[in-house]
Chains A and B, each alone.
Chain A
């Protein structure tokens, strides 16, 4: 007896949505096994990790703060991946967005009226888009693989940011800590009440709504889907695959840059070496878990946000490294990609037959 994968005639609509749930379930089971191997009570560990973050108001608020950048970056990446453009460097574009946007409050600290916020956000998006333009140019001009270039540029961006923060942009009154001056007035994003939820969450919702309409109703969205699934048919339709590479990278880079400046002008309020806990990378998982669908990305962003909070909670309550959050995220991506096979294939049990 053996198992074979058999191609389905059509993509299974059911499996398209069941696959991520299956992946989440398998991740939980695997998590439980890992926890018990570590000598922890798996039930308690899973509770701390995945349930506690959604049981308190303050932690729900924190969840929104964590989910906002994931969703903002994730929707951009979802469009990218749909078009078969593999921007893996959102983390770098986020960093560049944070740097560009921070230039105003750092270099012109007295400029604290309302327009500064608009300009900061615009500069953030511009920084991310410009940084994503590098892999776009290399790909369209020289055929370079954007997976490699965008990924490697992440580390370049982080080193550039580090140099600025430890060098020319360090707060002179900051006791030599590697951080910039504290932003003030409209240099900080408005928050919901006195809490931690900031404008970034609103921007994420707008991005989801706009891209949902773009992808499902407009010719541009149609173009993205055609070029992504059948490039030859895209050429036949008259769509330019080069322009598509530019569009996707500029869009996703811009959104990542926007997420970057929102992090700096939101939760932190100043520029520091650790701008994000890897939102740009986690957003890749968000995009896939959300079926590369903007609304799905919204849900997935919240789920991955939980894994960040759970990681912090587990560090405090269970005394294990918060790096386990990344382990979980990796396992989750692995299972999603595996389960997605079931969309186009079904598993069949073959009994040995005598010829």
Chain B
């Protein structure tokens, strides 16, 4: 009999040619709080989804209490004793706490009895909850407690938590840690995903670190420093790529002065007092862990959201904080959002019509007297596809039929084809294969060489070090000062990314 509760043995998960998990092995003991660390896109979610039965591994197998097991779906996972608390809750706001939990439990339980059990469990584990309360009236922290109690009612042997503290106040987080330690002392294993390294150091017994789908280290976080954990996450084995020599910033193209913007929905992060200046001919990169205000920053710069924005934005010498995205494009700016399908491109439209999407207001002859020039749009689509090697199955295919890398080349190519003075791109190579990524990075460098300003928002530090002249880090909606790439190393950036904003200066002085 193995003394491991759950083992993932040589697990590989492929999406097409892309290996999200590559030969991953992870072992969990009963009573252990095990951290799963890694940058965004490192494959953490993919791995836990397989453990929870939401995905099936391409190769390798899972062992439960020493025996090979196939977890066909989340219900099967729950019946084994695996519970999961997702980062985004699935609760009905119009229903009460008890009703929400009843919906997720198998079989039919009496509401009275269930309420009593909820009250008992929540009291026992220090997760105060009022069973009759309406979810709509509860705070985010209280909603998370519902999800946890929901798992606890099924007496799990393993609890998976996906960034549980991302939505909590420090006090709520402390309370959660008490609960988790209590659970672990009772023999429940906890797999804990987090970006907050300090938290992992104090809470977890072991940490598995993923990078690009592979396990790069399994360490005891109590014996590591936040800096050393960060180094594992972002990688030290990859040499720091020196950037283009002698990039001297010309006249300022984009200036943000004390810009603030409210959060984009309940899981967003408000932008707080952000200042940034980008000159002609330079690439400035913004590093940071997802959900720290990147999409808000993109919205603020692009002009997709102007309501609620404070501070000033100057583009090519023109004040434009209150002007929308069309006006900013007319000033020579171009934008590429993170989400390709549905944001950067309309999935149902052929590429030619997707050209019109961002260029109807800036291209001569694209729209004449209200009529769209479909022929011209088709010419542009063909030109973009040719210049950026966009491989398509038919002449003018729908955007949704292109692979991620090809569509990204198209979406970036569509903007570069305009020769913009400023290009703002969020996650230029996210989910893109290595070949396409190289093409895209080269195109960004070429654009800057040609005298344009480029702002890259990315979570990929390798990419940032490869192309950026200056780097700033965004954390909890605040932006650090952009410093020349040569003066920074991964450790300093990793710490800033992990939220150690205040300690960063000491740390860098020490190194």
Contact = CB atoms under 8 A, between A and B. Distances in A.
A328 to B, nearest CB: 31
Contacts of A10: 397-398, 400-401
A229 B346 contact: yes
Interface stretch (B7-15, B124-132, B336-344): B336-344
B70 interface: yes
A355 interface: yes
Given A230-B342, A238-B324, A222 B360 contact: yes
Nearest to B347: A230
Interface string A198-234: 0000000000000000000111101001100110110
Contacts of B348: 11, 229-230
B70 A222 contact: no
B304 A236 contact: yes
Contact of B371 (A217, A229, A230): A217
Contacts of B360: 219, 222, 237
A355 B70 contact: yes
Interface in B325-358: 325-326, 329, 335, 337, 339, 342-349, 353, 356-358
Nearest to B330: A238
A9 B343 contact: no
Nearest to A218: B370
Nearest to B348: A229
Given A10-B397, A10-B400, A217 B358 contact: no
A235 interface: yes
Contacts of B347: 229-230
A194 B137 CA distance: 67
Interface string A5-39: 00001110000000000000000000000000000
Contacts of A219: 356, 360, 367, 370-372
B86 to A, nearest CB: 22
Contacts of A355: 70
Interface residues of A, number: 19
Contact of B342 (A11, A217, A232, A238): A232
B116 interface: no
Most chain A CB inside 10 Å of its own CB: which residue of B337, B339, B346: B346
Nearest to B56: A355
Contacts of B70: 355
B372 A217 contact: yes
A238 B344 contact: no
Contacts of B343: 230, 232-233, 236
A225 B367 CA distance: 16
B341 to A, nearest CB: 8
Nearest to B357: A237
Nearest to A217: B371
Nearest to B335: A236
A230 B343 CA distance: 7
Contact of B398 (A11, A232, A233, A235): A11
A159 B455 CA distance: 59
Nearest to A219: B367
Interface in B267-311: 302, 304
Interface string B387-420: 0000000000110110000000000000000000
Contacts of A233: 342-346, 357
B94 interface: no
B361 interface: yes
Most chain B CB inside 10 Å of its own CB: which residue of A217, A229, A235, A237: A237
Interface in A165-189: none
Most chain B CB inside 10 Å of its own CB: which residue of A10, A11, A229: A10
Interface string B65-96: 00000100000000000000000000000000
Contacts of B329: 238
Contacts of A218: 370-372
Contact of B304 (A220, A229, A230, A235): A235
A232 B345 CA distance: 9
A145 to B, nearest CB: 14
B325 A236 contact: yes
A236 B411 CA distance: 13
Given A10-B400, A222-B356, A230-B347, A236 B372 contact: no
Contacts of B342: 230, 232-233
Nearest to A220: B370
A9 B401 contact: yes
A279 B371 CA distance: 32
A217 B367 CA distance: 10
B397 A232 contact: no
A237 B366 CA distance: 14
Interface in B354-385: 356-358, 360-361, 367, 370-372, 374
Contacts of B397: 10
Contacts of B401: 9-10
A226 B346 CA distance: 7
Most chain B CB inside 10 Å of its own CB: which residue of A217, A220, A236, A355: A236
A214 to B, nearest CB: 9
A237 B398 contact: no
A236 B400 contact: no
Nearest to A240: B324
Contact of A236 (B337, B361, B371): B337
29 contacts: A9-B400, A9-B401, A10-B398, A10-B400, A11-B348, A217-B374, A219-B370, A219-B371, A220-B370, A222-B353, A222-B356, A222-B372, A225-B349, A226-B346, A229-B348, A230-B342, A232-B342, A233-B342, A233-B346, A235-B304, A235-B325, A236-B304, A236-B343, A236-B344, A236-B357, A236-B358, A237-B357, A237-B360, A238-B361
Report, nearest first, the 8 A-B pairs whose CB atoms are least far apart: A238-B326, A230-B346, A232-B343, A238-B325, A9-B401, A10-B398, A237-B357, A218-B370
Interface of A: 9-11, 217-220, 222, 225-226, 229-230, 232-233, 235-238, 355
